[in-house]
């Protein structure tokens, strides 16, 4: 599939989907606590998404068995909610997708459970900061490599490693569209971004190695060395004057 340029009308619908994602992430962040099972978060998310007239994007996507992804500590992305009980000091990455009137929104945040170590707070700040830098670089006429460079450079300068085997992506009527949006890159390389393009930008940042492995369930992606990982994501539209965040409240 090539790059799809969206009309203002299509972007408006994507903003509706994105707002439902943002509301759901806010609901999850305010609900999560010590002693909760990750499947309880999945139930809350499913109810919230449907309450707003949307459908969870991930449920059934290539056979994914839950409404959302919940990835704890050394789990990077694609964690399956279940009976795991959250403990004080855990980092929990919550990834939510919603389909509204045929359009997708995709967003993620990482939250700490109770009191989190200073090093992990730094990891979360660095990952969120890397996302912000990527969004700032995503403007009409910029190269895709400018976005990737901004993300990777920021996180590495903070002393963390950036996952290379999983990327952001174009998004629209499909959850994953062209182009891929890597979290590491070279300025001035890659395609030129144009207004009307819609992208999900999603740095995944680790305390240890950037290398990954996949769990026996064939879904959950973990750090290869057991280091801790954080993940933040927004869906954005490229506009005349920069990026417009669609997964914001």
Provide the binding-site residues for Mg ion, judged by CB under 5 A.
106, 200, 202
Report whether the peptide linkage leading into residue 53 is cis, meaning its omega lies within 30 degrees of zero: no
| CA distances to 45, 75, 186 from 227, in Å | 27, 9, 26
Structure tokens at 190: 């890659």
Q: In angstroms, what is the minimal distance from the CB of 77 to Mg ion?
A: 8
Alpha carbons 200 and 5: distance in angstroms, whole number: 14
Q: In angstroms, what is the minimal distance from the CB of 117 to Mg ion?
A: 27
Of 183 and 206, which CB lies nearer to Mg ion in the complex structure? 183
Of 63 and 216, which CB lies nearer to Mg ion in the complex structure? 63
Q: In angstroms, what is the minimal distance from the CB of 115 to Mg ion?
A: 29
CB atoms within 10 A of CB 213: 13
Q: What torsion do the CA atoms of 82, 24, 135, 66 make, to the nearest 10 degrees?
A: 30
Q: In angstroms, what is the minimal distance from the CB of 200 to Mg ion?
A: 4
> Residue 176's Cα: distance from chain center in Å?
12
Q: In angstroms, what is the minimal distance from the CB of 171 to Mg ion?
A: 7
Of 19 and 121, which CB lies nearer to Mg ion in the complex structure? 19
Find the radius of gyration of the CA atoms of the chain. Answer: 17
Of 168 and 227, which CB lies nearer to Mg ion in the complex structure? 168
Structure tokens at 35: 């002693």
Of 106 and 146, which CB lies nearer to Mg ion in the complex structure? 106
Structure tokens at 173: 């009527």
């Amino acid at each position: 599939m090539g790059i799809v340029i969206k009309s203002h009308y299509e972007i408006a619908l994507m903003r509706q989907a994105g707002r439902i994602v943002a509301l759901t992430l806010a609901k999850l962040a305010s609900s999560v606590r010590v002693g909760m099972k990750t499947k309880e978060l999945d139930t809350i998310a499913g109810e919230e998404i449907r309450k707003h007239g949307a459908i969870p994007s991930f449920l059934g996507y290539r056979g994914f068995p839950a409404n959302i992804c919940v990835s704890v500590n050394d789990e990077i992305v694609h964690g399956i909610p279940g009976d795991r009980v959250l403990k004080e000091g855990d980092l929990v990455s919550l990834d939510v997708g919603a389909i509204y009137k045929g359009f997708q929104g995709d967003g993620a945040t990482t939250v700490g459970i109770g009191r989190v170590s200073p090093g992990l707070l730094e990891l979360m700040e660095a990952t969120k900061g890397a996302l912000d830098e990527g969004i700032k670089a995503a403007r009409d006429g910029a190269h895709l490599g400018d976005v990737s460079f901004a993300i990777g450079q920021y996180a590495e300068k903070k002393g963390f490693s950036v996952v290379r085997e999983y990327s952001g992506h174009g998004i629209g009527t499909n959850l994953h569209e062209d182009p891929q949006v890597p979290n590491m890159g070279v300025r001035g390389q890659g395609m030129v971004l144009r207004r009307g393009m819609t992208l999900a930008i999603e740095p995944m940042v680790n305390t240890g190695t950037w290398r990954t492995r996949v769990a026996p369930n064939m879904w959950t992606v973990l750090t290869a060395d057991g280091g801790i990982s954080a993940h933040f994501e927004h869906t954005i539209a490229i506009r005349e004057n920069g990026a417009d965040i669609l997964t914001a409240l």
